[in-house]
Amino acid sequence: MSATEIKSPRSAVAKVGSNRIAPQYRRNGSSKGNFEMLAWLFMRLSGVVLVVLIFGHLFVNLLVGDGIHAIDFGFVAGKWADPFWQIWDLAMLWLAMLHGTNGVRTIINDYAEKDATRLWLKIVLYAATTVIIILGTLVIFTFDPCPVVNGVQLPGGFCPVP
C-alpha cells in the first residue's frame, strides 16, 4: 500500500518575503486575529445545529400526518402562524446561509489565486447572502395568509370572504 501525500494548499497565507510558499502564491500576511479559528469553530457548531433543524424540518413536512401530500399554501400559512416555526425557519435560514457562505468563502480563498478575483467573488457572495437573508427574514415575518390587494381578496382557499 503506497502512502498518500496531501499537499499544502496552493494559496496558504504567508508573509510577503517568506520562502515557505512559492512566490506566485504568496499573500499579504496581514493578521486577522483569531477570525479564522472562530470561523472554523462556527462551521462545526452550526453543522451540528443544522442537522437538528434540517432533519426536524424534513420530518415534520414530509412524514408527519399526510406528509408530503399535505404541503400547500395553507400548510405553510399554518406553520408561519406559529411563532415556534417562525423562529425554527429563521434559525435554519440564517445558519444555513452563514454556514454555506463561510464554506464558499473558504473555497474562494483556497482556489482563486489572483487578489482581484478573490475580492470580486467575495463581493458577489456577500451581496447574494445579504439579499437572501434580508428577503427570507422579511418573508417569514411579513407573510400574510389572506392578502387583500386594492380591496380584492386574493384566492387563498381558506380565507374568510370579506
Provide the mask over 110-149, with x wherever binding to ligand HEM is found by CB under 6 A and - wherever it is not: ----------------------------------------
44 binds ligand HEM (CB under 6 A): yes
78 binds ligand HEM (CB under 6 A): no
Q: Cα separations (Å) of 109 from 12, 43, 122, 142?
A: 9, 16, 9, 36
Stretch that binds ligand HEM, among 63-71, 98-106, 133-141, 146-154 (CB under 6 A): 98-106
51 binds ligand HEM (CB under 6 A): yes
Dist. CA 38–CA 34, nearest whole Å: 6
Phi and psi at residue 85, in whole multiples of 5°? -75, -30
Instruction: Pick from 41, 54, 71, 134 the residue near ligand HEM by CB under 6 A.
Output: 54
Cβ proximity of 18 and 32 under 8 Å: no
Instruction: Pick from 74, 78, 100, 156 the residue near ligand HEM by CB under 6 A.
Output: 100
Cβ proximity of 14 and 27 under 8 Å: yes
CA 93 from centre of chain:
6
47 binds ligand HEM (CB under 6 A): yes
